Amino acid sequence: MRVKVIGAGLAGSEATYQLVKQGIKVDLYEMRGVKNTEAHETTNFSELVCSNSLRSNDITNAVGLLKEELRELDSLIMKSADKNQIEAGTALAVDRNQFSLDITNYLKNHPLVTFHNEEVVTLDDSYTIIATGPLTSEEFSLYLKKYLNQDDLYFFDAVAPIVLESSIDKSKAYLKNRYDKGEASYYNCPLTEEEYDVFYQTLIEAEKVKPKDFERKVFEACVPIEDLAARGKETLLFGPLKPVGLEDPKTGQMPYAVVQLRPDDASKSLYNLVGFQTSLKFGEQKKIINLIPGLEKAEIMRYGVMHRNTYINSPKVLNSFYQLKSNPKVFFAGQITGVEGYVESTASGLLVGLNLGRLLNGKEMIKFSRKTALGALASYIAIPNSNFQPMNINFGIIDDLERRAKKAEKRELIAERSLSEIRKIKEKIND
């Protein structure tokens, strides 16, 4: 039995490794070298396009926990990252060239891997993993758009920050829908004129990330908040910070300005800052968000970004195995599914490669629970969500503890619970 893996990025490389470990032959396709993307600089597998950091190694940080789960399950990406680690405090940063070169050499020289340096633009009847990432070629993107019934492929280039619900100061923010229409579902953070003046001045003076040329084209509906602000001081008051219909129940008065936060997941553990799509540097975003009353101590689960991003509306078309509902021989992995980040892409590739290998070997696929970071990500891309957007791993999507605990202790207990479950799965795999 053979599997076709399309894309040799982090997800595709990890999926390939998990398949060959189980004796499955892989045809690995990568177009770079024949057709390059706007962001990659080499033809190596698993090239880190942006930062060389895989973020925190601390298991009380969600991405640190996810990395530890991957290590337990023998991830190729994590082995190369740990081998090529460079000094970066508590973060895991790597020598990006050696990191990707080690992965490339291992897979290209593996006896069960046949490498094809070509672009794939259609699907056949093979068992297939699509791991083409957010820079999927235009021709294949158009094909997938039709294959997935057109509306199930998104081209999205604006993302607003997301904060943890429990970090919102409820003594300042209040739940209310504009004009009290329907059930109150938005948190509203009111600003006085003086607070708005400070917020506005900080915003227009903040430092932006300079985008590559291919990122400059932006739809009007996706204009960064700092660019809206540059059009004039009143612009935001008639746009995303419009206070009309949002009287503060504590005062009965309409604030000078209001920042609204909308639930971003079904459990309402995460809230999206409405209209705050941005290209500001992350440090600037944190400074500005912490100026907003009610968000002074907000925990930012995902920062806003502006970039070209191709991803499918996964909850409509995939199950929690990253398997296509309409064709069980097709799996997706990596950022094209709506997971965001290096480690998250790797995680999806591991889960897909592991389970497709088991399927082809006549074994039951393993469903990871939401008590694990791996399972929480898989669940996120499969649960119906009318506002589905790419997501990093965070504690907001991992199942909470069943008992109360102090914040510092809570994340340690969640991590211990998760790794205990992962080790049981590891024993099952090894058996």
152-191 residue pLDDT tens: 666 555 678 989 999 999 999 999 988 887 677 889 999 9
CA atoms of 268 and 263, how far apart (whole Å): 5
393-407 tens-digit pLDDT: 999 999 999 888 887
Overall number of domains in the chain: 2
pLDDT value, residue 213: 47
In terms of Cβ atoms closer than 10 Å to its own Cβ (0-12, 13-18, 19+), residue 82 is middle
What range does the domain containing 78 cover? Answer: 2-156+309-430
pLDDT value, residue 279: 85
pLDDT value, residue 216: 47
- Are 281 and 172 found together in one domain? yes
Largest distance between two CA atoms of the chain: 72
Which CATH number covers residue 238? 2.40.30.260
CA atoms of 80 and 103, how far apart (whole Å): 7
pLDDT value, residue 43: 87
Boundary of a domain, candidates 271, 302, 333 = 302
- Are 230 and 251 found together in one domain? yes
Residues 6+ apart with CB under 8 A from 220: none
pLDDT value, residue 415: 97
- Are 272 and 386 found together in one domain? no
- Are 6 and 152 found together in one domain? yes
Amino acid at 9: G
- Are 19 and 152 found together in one domain? yes
Cβ distance 274 to 160 under 8 Å?
Answer: yes
Residues 6+ apart with CB under 8 A from 182: none
Cβ distance 100 to 40 under 8 Å?
Answer: no
Beta strands 153-155; 310-312: pairing state: antiparallel
Residues 6+ apart with CB under 8 A from 82: 71, 92
Which contiguous run of DSSP H or E holds residue 358? helix 342-360
- Are 403 and 331 found together in one domain? yes
> Helices (H), strands (E): how many in the chain?
12, 16
In terms of Cβ atoms closer than 10 Å to its own Cβ (0-12, 13-18, 19+), residue 53 is middle
CA atoms of 372 and 381, how far apart (whole Å): 15
pLDDT value, residue 152: 63
Cβ distance 361 to 22 under 8 Å?
Answer: yes
283-339 tens-digit pLDDT: 999 999 999 999 999 999 888 877 667 889 999 999 999 999 999 999 999 999 999
pLDDT value, residue 214: 45
pLDDT value, residue 36: 78
- Are 297 and 315 found together in one domain? no
Cβ distance 259 to 188 under 8 Å?
Answer: yes
The β-bridge partners of 280 are 208
CA atoms of 224 and 221, how far apart (whole Å): 9
- Are 279 and 349 found together in one domain? no
Which CATH number covers residue 361? 3.50.50.60
Nearest to 348 by CA among 102, 84, 59, 5: 5
Cβ distance 119 to 31 under 8 Å?
Answer: yes
SS3 25: strand
- Are 317 and 285 found together in one domain? no
- Are 103 and 211 found together in one domain? no
The β-bridge partners of 375 are none
**Alpha carbon separation from 65 to 46, 87, 347, 412, 418 (Å, rounded):** 21, 20, 11, 10, 8
- Are 68 and 92 found together in one domain? yes
Q: Name the DSSP letter for residue 129.
A: E
Backbone φ and ψ for 174, nearest 5 degrees, come out as -135, 145
Boundary of a domain, candidates 268, 302, 336 = 302
- Are 42 and 171 found together in one domain? no
> Which residues, given as ranges, of the chain have pLDDT below 50?
213-217, 219
Angle subtended by helix axes 76-83 and 62-72, to nearest 10: 110
Which contiguous run of DSSP H or E holds residue 374? helix 373-380
CA atoms of 311 and 178, how far apart (whole Å): 31
Boundary of a domain, candidates 276, 302, 328 = 302
pLDDT value, residue 329: 98
CA atoms of 12 and 350, how far apart (whole Å): 9
Using the structure block, give the residue that is written with the tokens 């190369």: 80
Can you read off the two tokens belonging to residue 101?
Answer: 């070169």
